[in-house]
Amino acid sequence: MTATVIAGTGSYVPERVMTNAELERMVDTSDEWIVARTGIRERRIAAADQATSDLGLAAARNALAAAGMRAEELELILVATATPDMSFPATACLIQAQLGALGAAAFDLSAACSGFIYGLSVADAFIRSGAYRNVLVIGAETMSRVVDWEDRATCVLFGDGAGAVVLKATDAEPRAGASGLIHTDIHSDGAAWDYICVPGGGSRIPPGHAMVDERAQFLRMRGNETFKVAVRNMERAARKVIDQAGVKADDLSLVVPHQANARILNAISDRLGLAERQLVMNLDRYGNTSAASIPIALDEAARAGRVAAGDLVLLLAFGSGLTWGATLLRW
């Protein structure tokens, strides 16, 4: 039976650090308010000449190095992003060309902050079907390009970055405790699309359209409603994959949630009864990097030695769409 294992992780964040003190000079806010409400102290901002593909390319190279694999060995490149370089071609194709992985298929996937979980699900299905054996999944975002820097409620939340994993097929005989992706659970609720959205820039309100609202090209969010739904649905997804595997929250070595807001993460932790050592949080340094947040946090945890062979790891996400999901894997 074919299974999917993580062969290597990688990440990249831009050099520029934007602190809360800098935001205090831009909008009516304060470091104290931002930290208390979100847990964020700083975030990374892409340089003027950096696009999403540049961030994703750097993360991909780091993941390939960790896996000890050449780009030419890749058969599929999947990029989860809500901020592509352009409408088309896919950002994945741009990264493919820069990597020199010309034998690989490449496409983008749009599920906003849940994009990486969705990407893992798609890649796992391809591998289990036998279609591909070596797959690169990237979560990359330049959220600073769609943030309204005059909206103090949202501009403090987001940052730029990219993370990646190399997935490989294994034909080892299935056994209890074997490494690999175990269960993934993904969902969506399009009726709540306007909880988090960028209404302009597509075919509904095209670029250059005479808009009633000239700021439709920027991100909008209904924070209070989003908080409640995010906590409830991430908990449900987490419990589903845990129950499917016949394990308990106590058995988890690491939980890597989407880094949206410290209050959301703490609420999830409380509901699942997690210990502090189990939860990965780095949003204080990076903010919400959308589809990039889980792979960045996973890579940092792996390189810090927080996860070892045989450990159970739970990934959790929630985002625009609305979308949400969970992946349980054994390292």
| Residues known to be catalytic | 113, 258, 288
As given in the structure block, the two tokens for residue 64 are 């390939």
**Cα angle vertex 269, ends 39, 59, to 5°?**
60
Residues 6+ apart with CB under 8 A from 173: 1
Report which of 231, 256, 221, 205 is spatially closest to residue 112, judged by C-alpha positions: 221
The Cα–Cα gap between 174 and 135 comes to: 21
Element (H, E) at 293: helix 293-303
CB 331 within 8 A of CB 125: no
Residues 6+ apart with CB under 8 A from 44: 13, 14, 15, 16, 17, 18, 159, 160, 161, 286, 287, 289
